[in-house]
Structure 1
Amino acid sequence: MDEQLTSGKLQHVRLGYLCRLQTGLTVDGTRELDGDVVTRPYLRVANVQAGHLNLDSVSNITVPRAMAKRSELRSGDVLMTEGGDLDKLGRGTVWRGELDGCLHQNHVFALRTNPERLDARYLAWVTQSGYGRSYFESTGTKTTNLASTNSSKILDFRIPLPELSEQLRIADFLDAETARIDLLLSKRRQMRDLMALRRERITEQVLGLEEGHSTRLVPLKYLARDVSVGIVVTPAKWYVDDGGVPALRGLNVQPGRILSESLIRISDKGHAENRKSRLNADDVVVVRTGQAGAAAVVPREFDGANCIDLIIVRLGNKLDPRYVTYVLNSDYAKGQVGLNSVGSIQAHFNVGAMKQLPIPAASRSEQAAKVAILDREIGSMDALSERLSAQDRLLTERRQALITAAVTGQLDVTTARPAHDRDF
């Protein structure tokens, strides 16, 4: 196989010719630990994020000294994870010696570049570009919930390879430009966090959920007409690609709204066999697993739809659906859900706990008045938050496009205007 391919003026070289791949340690509780052993910090997949490291929680491991030497990280290594979400496969992060003598798990690869031919920072940027993402997402092995790559696929990746001096210019340019974009994204996250705190404070004040408030709380089961659960297990034979009946899942329920993305459909037979999980407009559905407790009103377009693994609150004439969702999406209700959820990996909230969840008692007219106040007071904040989120998406797209253009030769970084001369 040829070492390099040429595309226009930019050669593409197989990564295996430019660096060495180091595999990590396999955790083995039965390993013999007598003799010359050392205890060192070691990185797991959770520590290696897209473009950065999360070292808030780093485990230690005790292994024979010779084994540790074979898996010790060096400053300048480029870390890549073997498995996880498809869009994170192969995303490189440069290790800068943050922890002395640090080792790495076998599910984290360390690529040690030939510094005379390939700059580590440049390699990391290539893996984060659209060009790199296309390669790893197309070659990754996909399962139901995860994807994975391997050392052969990583080493077979052909990267655009300009002269080393140009690699350094590109890496410097992207370090500066992406830092500016990341700062803007960070400021927007801070704004959204502050608005979320203000939003919650107003919600608690209006609903009477502030600590020390004398609001009368009544278990939901005494106010709602019925609290039940949708289809818990859906046989594969019920799923259909076309036609059929829409079925809402936890993925479709966000606090205060229903999303049509990732909507599935079930056969008419499945729908007929599960009458109790059919939805009516103005029912309130609540997530049981994952984002447990998130609640939304069923809109008119989903009247008659079915649902899977959702709690269904049929309100009757004592409760306003918007009032109920404001209560259930409050921090107060989230705390109640958290206390009654089980599961170490994904929180799971059951229908019995939902029936017992205390909510503020109020007449229908009082509920309507509170909803009107909340809509007025926090509606503008929600609209601003949506605009900020839309801007974040544009900034993220801009960041990705900039990286891709720089590493594929579409952007000459030597003539690009400095950041202080441009506006996004």
Structure 2
Amino acid sequence: MSEKQTVKFGDICREVKLTTKDPIADGYERYIGLEHLDSGSLKIKRWGMIAEDNPSFTRVFKKGHILFGKRRPYLKKAAIAEFDGICSGDIIVMEPKGSFLEEGLLAHIVQSEKLWEIASKTSSGSLSPRTKFKSLADLEINLPNPEEQKSILDILEKIESANYYSEGLSNTSESVEDLLLIDAINKLESKDCPIEKLADVCEVITVGIVNKPAELYCDHGIPALRSQNVKRGYISLENMVYITHEGHSKHKKSHLKPGDVVVVRTGYPGTASVIPESLEVSNCVDILIVRPDLERVLPEYLCAYINSPLGKGQVLEGAGGLAQQHFNVKELKGMLVHVPDLVTQQRIAECVNSIVEVVSSSDINSARRKSLETSLKRMF
């Protein structure tokens, strides 16, 4: 093989068309639907049980096969099967073909921007666009030499493993944060920890720009936070947008100050963070803004409280219990908050923030790994 060889996707991958009429009799226990695949992840973390749900699926997959979501491919759902089972007809089952590829590399090529782009372009149907394997088969793939393939695969597998453990760290840390805060509050006497409405312990509770914010966007200007910038306990500067200075001046109500608590209202409502000192001048789009009365409540404590089940439960109730509904100013003003003395708040906030800092650092490293992963996959 030369230093680089151009092949078609159909030269390195085939569609598997195994079926079953009686999956349980044929020894299959689990099934996979599109809802079980996570966007951008090769790992399958959920599945259904055939005996319990009795799905109508007939398509069979085996351990090691790649499950590719052909419906709405812009969602980028594809994963490696770690067990035998059956799957939805909206999933294409794939396996490697020929001797061009290092074993294990195909899954990473499938999860490349190049393939998702052609999958989206070749989709048909207005409500639920779907692609077909034959539409992908002619896509040209640039293959490095075998040694380079091994090196790339080794890096990609290490990135995948690190991301998996990083996600586990994030999930575990949230549980620890919640336990620390709830345990600390439960140990306080009720007279030392009164319950107040949020509106009574804050100077301002309002919402960011909601009326045609995109008309204010520009390449360089005032940073404007959106929901995706508000992580649990910290602000992410990834995918930041900017608004014009004129737009910033016109929307003074949504000006942010260091120490403000910002809360997501749509998508994952109730996710909260504190504006850091580094964002001295900024604005925001369609997120809730809370400016605490610093003589009553500390921003870091309030942020931890809203993120905990004590706050998040009220958020979900106010948003109708559905993650995609809005959580609005009225509901936030009525949120009930345990308000111990400032020294106790500081102690609780410091404990929670020590964990948040670890997760924040882990997420920053994950973003760097993602950038490296994208760069490597562009080689194909």
Amino acid of the structure 2 residue aligned with 1:16: G
Go from structure 1 to structure 2 and tell me whether the alpha carbon gap of 1:162 and 1:267 turns closer, same or farther (over 3 Å shift): closer
Specify the alignment match of 1:73 in structure 2: 60
- What is the distance in 1 between the residues matched to 2:326 and 2:300? 24
Other-structure match for 1:353? 331
- Could you say which residue in structure 1 is the equivalent of 2:114? 135
Greater Cα shift, 320-329 or 215-224: 320-329
- Partner of 1:336: helix, strand, or coil? helix
* Map 1:169-184 → 2, pairs under 5 A: 178=157
Contact 2:66–2:80 (CA under 8 A) maintained in structure 1: yes
Residue identity in the other structure for 1:56? W
> Deviations along 1:359-413, whole A, 9 cap, x unmatched?
1234xxx31x124323554454444445555666788889999x97xx99xxxxx
Residue 340 of structure 1 pairs with residue 318 of structure 2: yes
SS of 2:238 mapped into structure 1: coil
Which piece of structure 1 moves more, 224-233 or 267-276?
A: 267-276
The equivalent residue for 1:241 is 219
Quote the residue 1:56 is aligned against: 47
Conserved 8 A contact 1:249-1:307 = yes
Q: 1:254 is matched with which residue: 215, 231, 246?
A: 231
The residue type paired with residue 111 of structure 1 is: M
Q: What is the one-letter code of the residue matched to 2:139?
A: F
Which residue is 1:414 aligned to? none
1:305 maps to which of 252, 259, 282: 282
1:233 CA displacement: 2.9
Aligned equivalents of 1:358, 1:296: Cα separation in 2: 18
Distance (Å, rounded) in 1 between the aligned partners of 2:371 and 2:217: 34
8 Å contact from structure 1 (residues 24, 105) kept in 2 = no
**2: CA distance, partners of 1:212 / 1:105:** 57
How far did residue 330 of structure 1 move?
Answer: 2.5
| Cα distance in structure 2, aligned partners of 1:272 and 1:398 | 38
Change beyond 3 A, Cα 1:92–1:318: closer
Instruction: Report the Cα distance in structure 2 between the residues aligned to 1:186 and 1:20, rounded to whole angstroms.
Output: 28
Report the secondary structure of 1:221's partner residue: helix
Give 1:80 shift: 1.7
Equivalent residue number for residue 230 of structure 1: 208
Tell me the number of residue pairs that the alignment of Structure 1 and Structure 2 aligns.
360
Counterpart of 2:33? 44
Range that drifts further, 303-312 or 349-358:
303-312
| 1:157 is aligned to 2:157 | no
Provide the secondary structure at the position in 1 that maps to 2:313. Answer: helix
Instruction: Return the TM-score normalized by structure 2.
Output: 0.71
Q: Per the alignment, do residues 105 and 42 of structure 1 end up closer, same or farther by CA in structure 2, a change over 3 Å counting?
A: farther
Distance 1:386 1:272, change over 3 A: closer
Question: Does 2:302 correspond to 1:315?
Answer: no
Would the aligned equivalents of 1:84 and 1:148 in 2 still touch at CA under 8 Å?
A: yes
What is the TM-score with the length of structure 1 in the denominator?
A: 0.65
Structure number, greater radius of gyration: 1
Aligned counterparts of 1:400 and 1:307: Cα–Cα separation in 2: 29
Aligned partner of 2:94: which letter? Answer: L
Percent identity of equivalent pairs: 22
Aligned match of 1:220: 198
> Are positions 1:126 and 2:106 aligned together?
yes
**1:255-270 matched pairs, under 5 angstroms:** 255-270=232-247
> Shift of residue 113 of structure 1?
5.9
Range 344-353 or range 379-388, more displaced: 379-388
The amino acid across from 1:109 in the alignment is: I
- Superposed displacement of residue 239, structure 1: 2.1
